[in-house]
């Protein structure tokens, strides 16, 4: 996908009819470019326009009678015997396996008139744009002059044998609307997103799962407390004999530092940083600060918060590492500030390098990459050291029991209690809490739609946090019942 600025002379308030934008002549020497266009139409390539920081939309009438608007404009139509009941290709007569190109765009601009001091420009109209709807069409213009009244579509031949001239034209019409406000001009785009009743089903699914885990956790804790109370009651008898089993046998080993204490503390610190970044970003989005009208605001906010929350990562990692009696505090801080950002940044560079090879305009500019590195080096890294400084100054966590000098031997474990199976089960439950929201998010990304239901997403995020917490408690309890201590 390339980013281009259309060289059209559109003046607000001035209507145009069949205005020539440009012409392109394809010969046999341009065979590669011609094949690129035809294949793009066959594979459903689309382009996106922005006018006055508002996406230009294509609106069609769906089979259910509702108006559906999307922010992507198809290059053309290809007859492949597929259902096009909700496409702009509906009603265009096409022969089998024929390809047509949309070379004429009719822009319909709706505006709200204003009468301010800055708009006092004489006889020239002034207003705020509310919507820009384009109606693409295919017209086989004569070679001598454009004729937008022609009903003959521009059919692209499968094999370019002769010279082919394509003329691109556009028309512009304006409509005054006094019923809509400029502040609500995004509503007609956002209203075409998935219906809220489906989103409520997602919330209901998350609630049911959260209540199930809460009930299971409450049952386990209640049963454990009852057994402990019964045991303490029996201890009053001198002849009572208590034999400990399950998690009680490993109570002196659970606070032993793990073999990979450095990595564990680094991941905990990065997890705290990511959690706080997500929480604040979603909170701002729910308040409406991250509107889709401000393109890139969501990503900019997330990156800035991640860098500024480096102190939280350093503090959490330092406290955990100090609890494990670690001595390489400098290595711990550097790894906390480097491991997760370096992994994500490496994946980003690999994908961006692939875009550079394809000569795509969507490749991130070199200046932006330098800015991201500077943000990490000048903001995130120093804050991580500052947070670690305060973290190492704090006293060590006090454990409720004393750790045994000799580690207890772990008995043979069944399949379901092994770490790999525990990871799968522990990840399946939180995923089932958010998979419906993930469906809508990926549909919005792949379908070139806007995802703006941050209120639903924030509720699901809160339930996800509760589900992860309860799942962690349950999995830890089952591991300890199996006398497993790592």
Same domain, 250 and 274: no
- Within a domain: 286: yes
- Within a domain: 394: yes
Same domain, 185 and 199: no
- Within a domain: 11: no
Locate 323 and state its tokens. 């609890």
Residue 355 CB partners (closer than 8 Å, separation 6+): 362, 363, 364
End-of-domain residue from the set 398, 416, 447: 398
End-of-domain residue from the set 190, 219, 236: 190
Distance CA 267, CA 269 (A): 5
Same domain, 39 and 165: yes
pLDDT value for 238: 45
Locate 67 and state its tokens. 């108006």
Distance CA 171, CA 8 (A): 11
pLDDT tens string, the chain, 486 residues long: the values are: 455 566 667 888 888 888 888 888 888 777 788 888 888 888 888 888 888 888 888 887 766 667 778 888 888 888 764 555 456 776 676 777 788 889 899 999 998 887 755 555 554 567 888 889 999 988 888 877 788 888 888 888 887 777 888 888 889 999 888 888 877 787 777 776 555 456 667 677 777 877 887 787 778 777 766 776 566 556 545 444 455 555 666 666 677 777 888 899 999 999 999 999 999 999 998 887 887 767 778 889 999 999 999 999 999 999 999 888 888 888 999 999 999 999 999 999 999 999 888 877 778 888 889 999 999 999 999 999 999 999 888 888 777 777 666 666 666 666 666 777 778 878 888 888 787 777 777 777 776 666 777 877 888 888 888 888 888 887 877 777 766 655
How long is the chain? 486
The domain of 276 spans 259-398
Same domain, 151 and 176: yes
End-of-domain residue from the set 398, 429, 460: 398
Element spanning 99, H or E: strand 99-101
Same domain, 95 and 202: no
- Within a domain: 238: no
Q: Distance from CA of residue 232 to its chain's centroid? A: 53
Same domain, 438 and 472: yes
Same domain, 47 and 136: yes
pTM for this model (two decimals): 0.73
pLDDT value for 72: 83
Same domain, 144 and 272: no
Same domain, 62 and 49: yes
Following DSSP, what letter does each residue of 245-308 receive, concatenated?
-GGGGGTTTTTSPPTTHHHHHHHHHHHHHHHHHHHHHHHHHHTTSS-TTSTTHHHHHHHHHHHH
- Within a domain: 301: yes
- Within a domain: 8: no
pLDDT value for 411: 65
- Within a domain: 59: yes
Following DSSP, what letter does each residue of 302-367 receive, concatenated?
HHHHHHHTHHHHHHHHHHHHHHTT---HHHHHHHHHHHHHHHHHHHHHHHHHHHHHTT-TTSPPHH
**Angle, CA of 420, 422 and 424, to the nearest 5°:** 75
Same domain, 137 and 98: yes
- Within a domain: 7: no
Same domain, 345 and 465: no
CB 337, CB 314: distance < 8 Å: yes
Same domain, 176 and 215: no
Overall domain count for the chain:
3
In the numeric block, the tokens 């525990």 are attached to 422
Distance CA 104, CA 8 (A): 13
Bridge partners (DSSP) listed for residue 133: 57, 108
């Amino acid at each position: 996908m390339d980013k281009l600025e259309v060289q059209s002379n559109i003046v607000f308030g001035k209507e145009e009819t069949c205005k020539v934008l440009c012409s392109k002549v394809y010969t046999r020497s341009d065979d590669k470019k011609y094949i690129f266009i035809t294949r793009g139409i066959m594979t459903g390539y689309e382009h996106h326009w922005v006018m006055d920081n508002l996406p230009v939309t294509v609106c069609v009438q769906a089979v259910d009678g509702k108006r559906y608007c999307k922010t992507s404009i198809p290059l053309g139509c290809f007859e492949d015997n597929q259902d096009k009941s909700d496409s702009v290709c509906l009603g265009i007569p096409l022969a089998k396996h024929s390809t047509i190109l949309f070379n004429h765009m009719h822009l319909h601009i709706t505006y709200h008139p204003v009468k301010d001091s800055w708009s006092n420009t004489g006889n020239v109209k002034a207003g705020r744009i509310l919507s820009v709807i384009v109606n693409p069409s295919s017209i086989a213009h004569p070679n001598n002059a454009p004729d937008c009244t022609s009903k003959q579509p521009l059919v692209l031949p499968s094999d370019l044998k002769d010279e082919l001239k394509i003329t691109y034209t556009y028309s512009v019409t304006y409509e005054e609307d006094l019923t809509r406000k400029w502040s609500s001009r995004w509503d007609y785009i956002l209203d075409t997103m998935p219906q809220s009743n489906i989103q409520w089903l997602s919330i209901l699914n998350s609630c049911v799962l959260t209540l199930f885990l809460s009930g299971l956790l409450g049952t386990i804790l209640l049963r454990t407390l009852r057994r402990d109370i019964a045991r303490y009651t029996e201890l009053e008898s001198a002849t009572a004999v208590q034999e400990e089993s399950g998690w009680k046998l490993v109570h002196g080993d659970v606070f032993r530092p793990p073999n990979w204490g450095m990595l564990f503390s680094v991941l905990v610190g990065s997890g705290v940083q990511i959690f706080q970044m997500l929480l604040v970003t979603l909170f701002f989005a729910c308040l409406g600060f991250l509107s889709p009208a401000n393109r890139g605001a969501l990503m900019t906010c997330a990156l800035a918060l991640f860098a500024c929350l480096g102190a939280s990562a350093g503090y959490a990692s330092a406290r955990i590492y100090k609890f494990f009696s670690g001595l390489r505090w400098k290595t711990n801080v550097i790894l906390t500030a480097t491991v997760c950002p370096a992994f994500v940044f490496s994946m980003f560079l690999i994908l961006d390098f692939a875009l550079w090879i394809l000569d795509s305009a969507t490749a991130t500019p070199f200046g932006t990459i330098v800015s991201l590195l500077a943000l990490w080096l000048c903001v995130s890294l120093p804050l991580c050291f500052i947070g670690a400084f305060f973290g190492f100054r704090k006293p060590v966590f006090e454990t409720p029991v004393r750790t045994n000098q000799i580690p207890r031997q772990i008995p043979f474990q069944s399949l379901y209690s092994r770490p790999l199976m525990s990871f799968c089960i522990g990840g399946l439950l939180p995923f089932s809490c958010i998979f419906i929201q993930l469906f809508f998010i990926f549909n919005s990304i792949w379908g070139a739609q806007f995802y703006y239901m941050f209120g639903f997403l924030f509720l699901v995020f809160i339930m996800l946090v509760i589900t992860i917490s309860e799942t962690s408690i349950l999995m830890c309890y089952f591991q300890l019942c199996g006398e497993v201590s790592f």
